[in-house]
Amino acid sequence: MTHSIEHVTHATMSDAAIRARMDHVNRMHKEELPEDPPFIVEDAVARMRALPSTWVAHFWLVREGAEVVAQARLDWQELESNREAGGIDITVEPHLRRRGLATRLLALMLDTASAAGRPLLLTGTTNRLPGGKHFLEHFGFKAGYEAHVNQLTIADLDRGLMADWCMAGAARAPDYALELWDGPVPEARLGAFANLANVMNTAPRGDLDIEDTNVTPQMIREGEACAFANGSRRLTTCARHVPTGELAGYTELYWNPKRAAIVGQAATGVRQSHRNQGLGRWLKAANILAMLGENPKARFVRTGNADSNAPMLAINRRMGFVPFMTDIGWQGRAPEIAKRLRRNEQAQLLVG
């Protein structure tokens, strides 16, 4: 069967197409994480319509009848940094694999990325779907970042230990006070928090050619609008240095009440000048205890950690996080990918 490929952007994709794509995403998600509940289809529409103004996203949808059975995504942000980079993703349902469809989608994305001046393509794979690794290696992508998704089972969390960490944090760092924010960053803290969020530029990123990003208040607000468009919750605990008023560190937990069992640990960061005072442990302990008070249905917390990030891994291991799946970051350059695609086409002609 010959499959047509529809090219749309986030702005031109219809609500029906967004739903059909999400049905496909859920089938792929079930293959990778069969233990998880599906994503909420209608949420995908709300999130797509609330994407930040800096985002550009292209989609290629492959259909059988009304169903999307394969898709590709190319996206980037129009910022001052990372002007050559674009993120990509390709998913193909099992009955269509090894037919050249993913290769075709890669070629289409490469053409669009090259025309947009985005020759650096970034993506990721997990050990749950090992075929992705072999596909990327075949087309010249290089692994540049090794990480794990680590998972904490709430039933195994030592809540007494978390309470002890909170008491020890307050005693060890008396010049600091914690603030808990449920939802958007308070307007009075917005500028200071945007400045603090730049601490995540110090997080390990391996050999990936990623530049620092300058976080702005507008980026914070537009990111929140997208994150909360589907009704998701976020708890942020922030440490403030009382003598100066400077925000010193923060940590975030997200969850969707419609999928409340799975909580995502997002950023955790402490400014270099405020480290080695136990703020990381204090922040994470206070935030997870607050989350449990708001979300009694929570069963798991998942977080991504670079394998090289020893300080954060030490905290997470003590909390009870254990490896859940591997997560590898890949990058490929347009000239090398194009060369491999040409070789692949020539090989197909010889076989034919």
Largest CA-CA distance found in the chain, in angstroms, rounded? 74
Q: Which residue has the tokens 């390709």?
A: 90
Q: Which pLDDT belongs to residue 3? A: 81
Contact 90, 138 (CB under 8 A): no
Q: Are residues 90 and 157 in the same domain?
A: no
Residues 114 and 159 in one domain: no
Contact 209, 319 (CB under 8 A): no
CA nearest neighbour of 323 among 125, 127, 89, 36: 127
For residues 324-328, give the mean pLDDT: 96
125, part of any domain: no
- Mean pLDDT value of segment 235-255: 98
Residue 38: DSSP 8-state: P
Name the percent of the chain lying above pLDDT 70.
98
Phi/psi region, residue 35 (left: phi>0; alpha: psi -120 to 50; beta: rest), is alpha
DSSP state of 79: S
pLDDT, tens only, 280-303: 999 999 999 999 999 999 999 999
Q: pLDDT-derived band of residue 5, with 50, 70 and 90 as boundaries?
A: very high
Residue 55 belongs to domain with CATH number: 3.40.630.30
pLDDT higher than threshold 80 for residue 348: no
Q: What is the pLDDT of residue 347?
A: 67
SS3 218: helix
Q: Are residues 159 and 239 in the same domain?
A: yes
If asked whether residues 196 and 323 sit together in one domain, one would say yes
Give 2 or 26, the one with higher predicted confidence.
26
336 located within any domain: no
224 and 278 both lie in a single domain = yes
pLDDT band at 231 (very low <50, low <70, confident <90, very high): very high
User: Are residues 201 and 78 both part of a single domain?
Assistant: no
Which residues does 297 contact at the CB level (< 8 Å), separation at least 6? 260, 261
Residue listed under structure tokens 């075929």: 131
Q: Does residue 175 sit in the same domain as residue 305?
A: yes
d(CA 174, CA 94): 57
Same domain, 186 and 267: yes
Q: How far apart are CA 38 and CA 22, in angstroms?
A: 10
Please check whether residues 156 and 109 belong to one and the same domain: no
Instruction: Please count the other Cβ atoms lying within 10 Å of the Cβ belonging to residue 106.
Output: 23
Query: In the prediction, which pLDDT does 1 show?
Result: 57
Amino acid (1-letter code) at residue 325: M
Residues 64 and 211 in one domain: no
Residue 181 resides in a domain: yes
Q: Quote the distance between the C-alpha of residue 214 and its chain's center.
A: 18
Both 203 and 280 in one domain: the answer is yes
Range of the domain at 276: 150-328
Mean pLDDT of 244-260: 98
Q: How confident is the model at residue 180 (pLDDT cuts 50, 70, 90)?
A: very high
Is 141 a domain residue?
no
pLDDT of residue 345: 80
- pLDDT at residue 2 is higher than 70: no
First-residue to last-residue Cα distance in the chain: 17
Q: Rounded to whole angstroms, how far apart are CA atoms 125 and 136?
A: 9
Average per-residue pLDDT in the chain?
96
Q: What is the pLDDT of residues 7-17, one digit of tens each?
A: 999 999 999 99
Residues 113, 154: one domain? no
Q: Could you tell me the two tokens for 76?
A: 């980037």
pTM: 0.94
Report the distance separating Cα 348 and Cα 328, nearest Å: 29
Overall number of domains in the chain: 2
- Is 334 a domain residue? no
pLDDT single digits (tens) 39-62: 999 999 999 999 999 999 999 999
